[in-house]
Structure 1
Amino acid sequence: MMPIIMLLPFLLLSAAEAQQQQGTSNVVKPGFSLTPKTNLLSPSGLYAFGFYEQGDGYAVGIFLAGLPQKTVVWTANRDSSTPLPADVKLEFRTDGRLVLHSAQIKETPLDISSDGASSASMLDSGNFVLNNSANRILWQSFDHPTDTLLPTQNLPKGQVLSSSLSKSNQTRGKFLLLMQQDGVLAMYPVDTPYTDVYGYWTSVDWGSVVPNTIGLPKVIDGILTLDGDGHLYLFNGSGNYTLNPASGNSTELLYRLTIEPYGIMRLHSHDMTQTGNWTLKWSRPDDGCKPKGLCGLNGYCVKDPDVDCECLPGYVPVKEGDWFSGCKMNFPAESCPASSKSKYTMNESNTQWINDNDSPFKSFTPENCSDACLQDCNCVAAFFKDGVGECTKQSLPLQFGRTNSSTVAFIKVGTSTLPKPGKKEHILIIIGVSLGVFAFIVLAISGFGIYKNRVMLYQMMPKNGNIELGVDVAPKSFTYAQLENATHGFSKELGRGAFGTVYEGAISNGQIKETVAVKRLDRSMLAEREREFHAEMKVIGRTHHKNLVRLLGYCHDGLNRLLVFKYMSNGSLADKLFTPEKQLSWDKRMEIACNIARGLIYLHEECEPQIIHCDIKPQNILIDEDGCAKISDFGLAKLLNVAQTRTFTEIRGTQGYIAPEWRQQLPVTDKVDVYSFGIVLLEIISCRKSMDSNLPEEEANLKEWANHCFNSGELGKLVNNEEVDKRELEKMVKIGLWCTSDEFPLRPSMKKVLHMLEGIVNIPVSASPASSLISF
């Protein structure tokens, strides 16, 4: 074992200084490039930075080139789900950026902050480093771990290791290991609060705690580190250090600590003198069923003897072989309140689940508990605590389930299952397919005839250069003169924003004129890069969703950059919230909140590539003639991302809606939109601005005021005593405060937010504003 006194100098050095002492490296300068056939090796050849195979393409990262397994230990652009093509190239540009490009994809920078980098190095420690001309470290992979900790690498307070989706797919997975602010190391499912309800392992129960007899200084408060001998040291600032059982001090062994795809933290070793596989040395937690969410919604974990997943009685897997996808009903669900007791039975199951209902019924028997759920059309399960006679009802979905012989769950199951295709149905299917094929052939022949006719007509048309709006997927390109004419010299101003001014205009759409909104972007906000501008316009033009304002066209003419959007006749959400005579009813405001959430889910998860809006606020939420809310300016985040990451973070967002990580220079994720949405939701609830200096000091900051009102039980003050259901108001405020958590990993995803807004998923009790980091 390495004596602790020998470990002190390493811990007291800054990460940058420590890594400069890791020996020699292979250094490259701007102009260097990599392809899938070339890699940047460390001096010993053990580690490599470059491309590795993932799925049917490639990804960029660091891997062990000196081992037959080519084990990946770090991944760039980890949340990009699209594999890179075989002709991809990675270039180290003269401005310090690392940029991917190919014939199939547009230029994509790596998520590496590299302003001013003049050299790049692959160290023998497994650390990839970018230096400036003074040889000072600007960025290093050791400060941004993915799922692996290597020897001499630290995990300081606030940082996480996030599991991969699978062993062959390094995309961010379902679990994380967090070094908490209180010095406790803990493990959670992603997108859950960091509380004991959701945590499934903590360092409080780990290893032996040895008193500090050598006076460790406070500078090492809250650090996990792995040394070269395979010892894990946890310094929590209380004068103690914690370590795992002895691993071995052979200089021939290489170690790595990884959080596995199924939520287990494992320490592996590899004998460098042999060609065998990695050897498991130590793992936590010991129970493979402990990671919560392992089996998805409505599925539970069993261990007999190996870890496996099963669905609730009456449920089947959503996707065979993928338990993360969970389970779905295999019986018809009756609408409420039309459900009939005779259509369901109650199945007893020895399983335990996270229960979001904090109001159990008292003095119940098991029979009373089961019957109470059976007669409640909103109930799908009832949990009974024997000995105390408590019964709690639960709606869908059920989450984080596992077997437990000491608890009883009563599951409501339909008496009939969903029909499977029988002989008669197979005949109907065959007939239907045959008719479909015949119809397709007829349509193909007709379509060819129409196409040939249209081509001839097109060739006869005069090419007069007139541009009209059409229904093409890509937005139209306009000249500045055309848009100047369409807006009558930009005479009717609709509004001003951080990135330009919006004017009303009219564009020809066939035989009629269509009213549009033309946004003239501030020239100072854009780089002079024609190719990037055109590429971004094509990306934005392909985004189609009911809750996004449609981009119809753009102008890239000289120094002029303009965007043409569909006109929204009912103005912005800001008009509706902050103008007393225009304020909407509570139900309409909640409908608008759901509209915004749906639009953000599309941007974050459903469009390709995904887009982070970065400037969600009421002024960017427009209302159409039907009262439907639509997000505008959703492309500007991508459009303006042509400079360096630091510049990009400095220019995005609006005061009062900016997430804390912008100012802390932390990696920007879609959780910045979740934060902004939380602020907007509080504004929707209270019909007031997030920052209002005209109000008393304690009320000026809406987030702080909402938190105060929640904790003091005075939520009525937020709505000026408007007649609102108290439980509904409490629910909405809870969601808003959860979304605005200062620590971005705590915030829920937008999909979970929408489910809570719609009542599909209950708000966890532990997600209250007062929730804090656990120490369980």
Structure 2
Amino acid sequence: MVAIWYDKIPDKTVVWSAKTEYKLATAPTGSHVQITKEGLSLTSPEGDSIWRAKPEATVSEGAMLNNGNFVLLNGGSEYENMWQSFDNPTDTLLPNQSLQLGLGGVLTSRFTDTNYTTGRFQLYFQDFNVMLSPLAFPSQLRYNPYYHAINDASVGNASRLVFDKSGEIYVETTGGTRNRILPQVDNTLDTEVNYYRATLDFSGVFTLYAHPRNTSGQPRWRIMNYVPDNICDAIFNDYGSGSCGYNSYCSMENDRPTCNCPYGYSLVDPSNESGGCQPNFTLACGADVQQPPEELYEMHVAKNFNFPLGDYEKVEPYSQQECQQACLHDCMCAVAILEVDTCWMKRLPLGNGRQLPIRDQHFVYIKTRLSPDFYPGLANRELPAAPDSKKENRAKSIILGSLIASLVVNSILLAAVALFFLLKPKLKKVIQASALLETNLHSFSFEALKEATEDFCKELGRGSCGIVYKGKLETADSCNVIAVKRLDRLAQEREKEFRTELSAIGKTSHKNLVRLIGFCDQGINRLLVYEFMSNGTLADILFGHSKPIWNLRVGFVLGIARGLVYLHEECDSAIIHCDIKPQNILIDEHFNAKISDFGLAKLLLFDQSRTNTMIRGTRGYVAPEWFKNVAVTVKVDVYSFGVMLLENICCRRSVMTMEPEEEEKAILTDWAYDCCVEGRLHALVENDREALSDIGRLQRWVKIAIWCIQEDPEMRPTMGKVNQMLEGLVEVANPPSPNPDI
């Protein structure tokens, strides 16, 4: 695309892009930008016009001004500005720029943070006011506004939206008044110290950002102010999906809206978190239903969100049980909301979702498919018998069994770290809490954890160095399920390394890493407390009886990649995981993939890029350099990720025993390369229709995986580069054979 961006800061932030009738002017490789006497033009390699800025008078030259404005000039006796990017804004205003009533006074958000096509929100003039509205995407029809810049008509009509050179943003009225569009910021704006921009974000929030001009260290854009205060609640229309996409709900986190999928739902497009969610199962109706609903569905209970519009039925007075049963037996019902004694029935798609404070009289009942028919494609499988409503104890046993299966994996979390405890028969020395004060870990007393686990009565699994118990942490307004690992013993000579690793893990915070909540270090008692992961491991899902849908697998891959980018490039000290595999990826209730088991991780010092250590990892995922007695780098994780990427694509293990006629398929990495070279990707995914309908991504991801498993670590990309390639931001070249000597 043709764009203008900040060039003196590490973050090359785009502030303008060429568009034609609100559509991004995309250009294939080999296109040309030219200034002629007719204006500025973008042409394809074949010479066809893609976009043109055509002023009324002859153009003599163009200039990129230091304030971010690109201008076309007429070189007469006095230079005259014939066209400027400031008069044709996209989603951003810069200091000294203004929007004029009737003269292109519109800002339209981009689609996502990295997709610059037209998005779902617009800032514009209407009825002599400046407003913000959602659009009926992909059209330009505006829904009802969710923000007005002028609320008092007596101050006059809006004529101009000004972003002045001092960094202030206000609406200038016909009456000569200035009405702030953003509240007064606490910090004094200083354009000599900071760069500023005001952007209509892809989330619909109009935000003032600042970035230090001094780029020493790692400066980033920081939020100075924004409107509306809470966009999750601000948008409330009968039409449209709301601030987030359909079937998702919005919450405010760190001054930014975040879109969440309900239990049993996943993102429609894993690369677009605000693009809505879809059920990971099928809701059948009419002749498609052969069993009683109790044998097909279950009702999952939540309390912290609502979809306040789009009800098709209201029944009252209803109890909790009656509301759940009403939705369960109504084939049109996807979600039921109980407010006090009123039951609101809702069908798909669900719009205007928003997070709510937990209240005693508010319940959300989400209808999901019973296992094993949780994923599409199992309609012909025999379903398990439904639990008898009168046999409550049996139902509890089934639920507990599924919890045990998913949480046994947590028993291996930090397994190698806990191995440090095996050699010491009696603990004489304890970790001092002061060593962990700089982390975000909570220090629990032994009595508190004993109470949370009901005296360690609910065993979930056993590991090599401890037992995992189910527990609950109760606060005034919530009750959180946790997994508590009680360690057996500590090897004295490894205690220092254990402290170091525990401290480093405690400092990590990323949505794609399993969170270590806290620890207990009291006398001889050592316990670790983790967040509860309800959907087991990635291995359970990929290699189970049914193949998960393609978009769900895409979401898993992108989440894992982002987690590894964080470990390798964004932590204070880079962390090599050393054992990336599907068994060490846990899945939460919203089907987010989270990297677990840092027990085998090898920490790098701040100024290190490689380390020497004993062989670590799991056969089949271990990079070749482990066996060469050479220093290893974060590229060993890249290799493991490449193997796991292929497993995600194919839903099969990397090494399998095959019949003689299919021996070529036994080693997945070799077979994938052959299929890539020979153009047989349909065989690789076994004619998976969803994957083949996304053939561009499929081809790109197979090539990325092959780059990741190159024998020479120098040829493997970094995880940062891998993430960019996965999201389609960087082109992927055809890879060489991963085993050049074969």
Q: Is the structural similarity TM-score above 0.5? A: no
Structure with more relative contact order (C-alpha pairs < 8 Å, separation 6 or more)? 1
Q: Normalising to structure 1: TM-score of the pair?
A: 0.41
